[in-house]
Structure 1
């Protein structure tokens, strides 16, 4: 998903009325933010001389005052792991779609923050007609955001609330937000069924028992009960791509953690240690909440459902890593912290080498060699960053497990209420 924002670049109070425009162009082309200007592009001008060309256009048509240009920011969701190439694709096509051959513009993708985002700046004066670009209040809702949505959709990315589009098939913002909030529940249900399934057909059977509908002639696109849209499971998690899912569920000899669900029948619990059973019991007692996740008025179960999901993650960590006691858990945390230290050492090593290579650049050929090396090593840095993020998540879960071990969830179901298994 990408959110589009448009800003006006106003006239400067200084000697040069276009100085704000100049500063904005320099900012978006910052080498430290754009992989040494690799992620910079333009239309109807050259990035290095864009300001001079824009200024000349203003002088030709005698429109040097008032509004100097426009600045669009397209921010991508960090959850979708958008690549720099995908961001450049959206930005470039957005610029061509909006501005055509009429306005000089420079665009750039910044990778210096956790979420990928791009900038587009264009001249307020048309180079072909001399007219100033008009951006009414409804421009973002009716024109700009739908264009971003179009190119995000081409790449398989989610889109902004559909009420901002002219497409009459779209739904309201409230319904859209409800659809998006379902993604986490759908993913958790799919993972639960994948862990329990013996093969792909069994996985589909278990998902259907939970009420999901599969789209015909499509790989693992599911529709939740009472909802409108189908969601691609592989887009929610790569483990549901055809190759990976078949590899995973068609390996019956693998030890898989057990989940209790009233709709999943004929499963047998693996041998668990007393420590693991404690967390399994907490999940068991909260399964009534899980059953009601689709019902009308189910919002009152939100906090309990969050607790169910938290316990599910904790139980998975314990079983997948064969943690049978608090001592094992502490050892696991120490191992993960050592892994983080190794990752950070490697990151520092790359940064030092990058700094050294930069200082030794003497000519254009050496600069090109540095750029090639930097692009190669950036892939490793991205992988290290993702790996580190995953390990930190595991450490946080392990810390939560230690706290959970001191807490009881038995209040979720009263002591007098009988829990009856579906079978």
Structure 2
């Protein structure tokens, strides 16, 4: 038998419909036609083979808790009968504190998406980019960010050095003194097109 993954907050999975109704009956705008939704349903999917059911469920709980901030009742389930792991999060459309309706808009849609992506990165899982392509895992993203920082430092060092030298040879000497390995610095017909710099902590040379 497959294990069932179900969690809830401020309600019971068996009586969630009644629990939600109790909250909705106490809202100030319960008769407003614009607030016809009784609940919202989110689906959080993961790339096949990347995550266990237990971890997926934990990520779903973290998403619900960060998004709803302990204000809304919710039920979370993780499907174990499909080829790809995914969560279903259903939360009441009104909160339990001020009995106000959740504002469903593009801003909150992107908030949900960004929260989900952040959690996947924190768990070293890939994300899905807006164009449908597979995104990077957190360690890949962190490595890219580190490389970007090193490139920014290189640009800063180059600009600072240019301000204090008078000749090209002085520029090369100062950059080498800063710890950069320089290649393709020669001029002439047989010279390479681009000069490259590499500091000890860079994984590969970078064009100047």
- Please tell me the TM-score bracket, short chain as reference: 0.5 to 0.7
Residue 57 (structure 2) aligns with: 88
How far apart are 1:87 and its partner, in Å? 0.5
Aligned partner of 1:70 in structure 2 is: 40
The reply on whether 1:152 has 2:120 as its aligned counterpart is yes
1:127-146 per-position Cα deviation (integer Å, ceiling 9, x unaligned): 111110002123222x1111
Q: Is 1:135 matched with 2:104?
A: yes
Distance change (3 Å), C-alpha of 1:146 and 1:178: closer
- TM-score, with normalisation over the residues of structure 2? 0.58
- Answering whether residue 15 of structure 2 is matched by residue 45 of structure 1, we say no
Secondary structure, aligned partner of 1:41: strand
Within 5 A, what are the aligned runs for 1:117-128? 117-128=86-97
Query: Are the aligned partners of 2:75 and 2:91 in contact in 1 as well (CA < 8 Å)?
Result: yes
Deviations 1:38-68 (A, max 9, x none): 3000112121221111111112236266111
Q: Secondary structure, in 3 states, of the residue corresponding to 2:76? A: strand
Cα shift at 1:179: 7.4
The answer on whether the counterparts of 1:106 and 1:122 sit within 8 Å (CA) in structure 2 is yes
Distance, in Å, in 2 between the alignment partners of 1:134 and 1:100 is 14
Contact 1:152 1:159 in 2 (8 A): yes
Rate the CA distance shift 1:110–1:140 in 2: closer, same or farther, 3 A: same
| Alpha carbons 1:179, 1:229 under 8 Å: kept | no
Contact 1:42 1:105 in 2 (8 A): yes
In 2, Cα distance between equivalents of 1:105 and 1:131: 15
Distance 1:135 1:160 in 2: 22
The structure whose residues are more often strand, as a share, is 2
Q: TM-score, normalised by structure 1?
A: 0.30
SS at match of 2:106: coil
Q: Which residue of 2 aligns with 1:99?
A: 68
- Cα RMSD between the aligned structures? 3.1
Q: Which protein is richer in helix relative to its size?
A: 1
Alpha-carbon separation, structure 2, partners of 1:73 and 1:154: 19
Q: Residue 159 and residue 131 in structure 1: after superposition, are their counterparts in 2 closer, same or farther (change >3 A)?
A: same
Higher RCO by CA contacts (8 Å cutoff, separation 6 or greater) = 2
For residue 89 of structure 1, give the secondary structure of its aligned residue in structure 2: helix
The correspondence for 1:59, drawn from 25, 28, 52, is 25
- Structure 1 residue 109 corresponds to structure 2 residue 109: no
DSSP-derived class of the 2:18 partner: helix
On the 8 A contact 2:39/2:91 being kept in 1, the answer is yes
Alignment of 1:237-248 (within 5 A): none
Structure 2: where are the runs of 5+ without partners?
147-208
Q: Which runs of 5+ in 1 are unaligned?
A: 1-31, 165-172, 184-220, 231-423
Name the SS for the 1:119 alignment partner.
Answer: strand
Whole-angstrom distance in 1 between the partners of 2:5 and 2:134: 35
Q: Match of 2:15, SS?
A: helix
